[in-house]
Amino acid sequence: MKDWKKEYNKKLCTPSEAVKKIQKDYRVIIGHACAEPSIIIDELVKNKKFFKNIEIIHMVAMGKSEYASEENKEYFRHNALFVGGGTRKAVNSPYGDYTPSFFFEIPNLFKKGASLEPDVALIQVSAPDKHGYCSYGLSCDYTKAAAENAKIVIAQINKNMPRTLGNCFIHVNDIDYIIECDTPLIELKPPVIGEVERKIGEHCASLINDGDTLQLGIGAIPDAVLTFLKEKKDLGIHSEMISDGVVDLVDAGVINNSKKTLNPNKIIVSFLMGTKKLYNYIHNNPEVELHPVDYVNNPFVAAQNDNLISINSAIQVDLMGQINSESIGHKQFSGTGGQVDFVRAASMSKGGKSIIALASTAAKGTVSKIVFKLDEGAAVTTSRNDIEYVITEYGIAQLKGKTLRERAKALIAIAHPNFREELTKQALEKFGNL
């Protein structure tokens, strides 16, 4: 496209000019996770008096999330697709909402005429290349679909945003208002891995073979798994997201993607959360491709990877193998995210395995995460029909193809010893014998 530079200059504006294009009752979708456009969001909140009843849709919110605070409720209403620390209070109050969805289906909800069609997309992207294309950088997932379907696209173009490759570009001509910046990117520090996570990681690693393709969720358990994979060979990645831990295994030659049956020799992801270590590695690196989440997480796509191993976590597992990964009783704690997308993909993948890995207890050992029945109000994230492996620090329970009685027995065996007697009593009341 020849004259994109002229267009670029015409579109340059201040954050305050840009946000004033947002009108009463508009639906605004904010770019995801570490690519959150913080300058535009801050400006939105600063100018709140100009707005009325703006619906803010966001998923993993990493910033201050002031749009979700009670004092701003007459200007903004938060509709969360995933919940975090900054948005949890709003989502569980009269002034906020949560919309359940599989992550891979979210871009469909943004399409013209669909239930979450956006008026405005607020995004943060890389500087344009010589052809005028900006990379979505750290987050392609639903952000690309939001920008492609919104009436108005406001982009924060950050000199520090890495240029990631794949199906993750937007042309300057498709952006309406541009704000230039060079602010530091949001980082997610590596989690602390304790003894419990180490044991869980070791059990998970025992199910992973040379040549497997991995999907890893976020947090201490996936990172612990990676530390036990140093002796493996030819691993691949097809994952909703990755963080710093993957870089060490790429450097060590353990992850080389050579045996992948879909997109061989490439790491395929939808978003990235880490530190400069990860961001430097992915910049302009053809080894890593970002694609929209309706490709990466689509179970029919991901399942084309033979030997796909998915590893995710949970809040509660009941003795039938129903997995609650997102609520504490009636309280929406996080979200469905891509868990079910990958549980199903792994189950359809030739040689695949899906793992739910969790500590056996919460709240300093006072609460068992393996329970006879889920708490009242809890959501079933992964159904008992989908579940395959559950892992705690006490071992591995393989549930697929097992009866309800066998499942109860296998799950009690990996519960914390302090809770096994009570769980056994409850199971015996139900089954008569075990």
Side-chain-facing half-sphere of 120: CA atoms under 13 Å: 23
CA–CA gap between residue 98 and residue 312 (Å, rounded) = 21
Q: Which string of x and - marks every residue 352-381 that binds ligand COA (by CB under 6 A)?
A: ----------xx---x-x------------
User: 168 vs 218, which CB is nearer to ligand COA?
Assistant: 218
Candidate list 240, 326, 388, 393, residue with the active-site label: 240
Q: Which stretch binds ligand COA (CB under 6 A): 16-24, 211-219, 252-260, 403-411?
A: 211-219
Task: Kindly tell me which residue out of 34, 152, 208, 314 binds ligand COA, with binding defined by CB under 6 A.
Answer: 314
Q: Which stretch binds ligand COA (CB under 6 A): 122-130, 173-181, 306-314, 407-415?
A: 306-314
User: 158 vs 312, which CB is nearer to ligand COA?
Assistant: 312
| 326 is an interface residue for ligand COA by CB under 6 A | yes
| 313 is an interface residue for ligand COA by CB under 6 A | yes
Residue 129 Cβ vs ligand COA, minimum distance, rounded to whole Å: 29
CB 139 within 8 A of CB 113: no
User: 328 vs 413, which CB is nearer to ligand COA?
Assistant: 328
User: 158 vs 339, which CB is nearer to ligand COA?
Assistant: 339
Q: Which amino acid is at 363?
A: A
Residues 336-355 contacting ligand COA, CB under 6 A: 337-339
User: 158 vs 325, which CB is nearer to ligand COA?
Assistant: 325
| 119 is an interface residue for ligand COA by CB under 6 A | no
Q: Which amino acid is at 200?
A: I
| 334 is an interface residue for ligand COA by CB under 6 A | yes
CA–CA gap between residue 422 and residue 83 (Å, rounded) = 32
| 328 is an interface residue for ligand COA by CB under 6 A | yes
Buried-state track 95-126, b at ≥16 Cβ within 10 A, e below 16: bbebeebbbbebbebbeeeeebbbbbbbbbbb
Q: Which stretch binds ligand COA (CB under 6 A): 40-48, 265-273, 276-284, 326-334?
A: 326-334
- Select from 27, 289, 39 the least CA-distant residue to 165: 289
Residue 264 Cβ vs ligand COA, minimum distance, rounded to whole Å: 23
Residues 214-273 contacting ligand COA, CB under 6 A: 217-219, 240-241
187 has catalytic annotation:
no
- Looking only at the bridges linking them, the beta strands covering 169-171 and 133-135 are antiparallel
The torsion region of residue 8 among left (phi > 0), alpha (psi -120 to 50) and beta comes to alpha
CA–CA gap between residue 265 and residue 139 (Å, rounded) = 21
Q: Return residues touching ligand COA (CB under 6 A).
A: 217-219, 240-241, 312-316, 325-326, 328, 333-334, 337-339, 362-363, 367, 369
Tell me the catalytic residues.
240
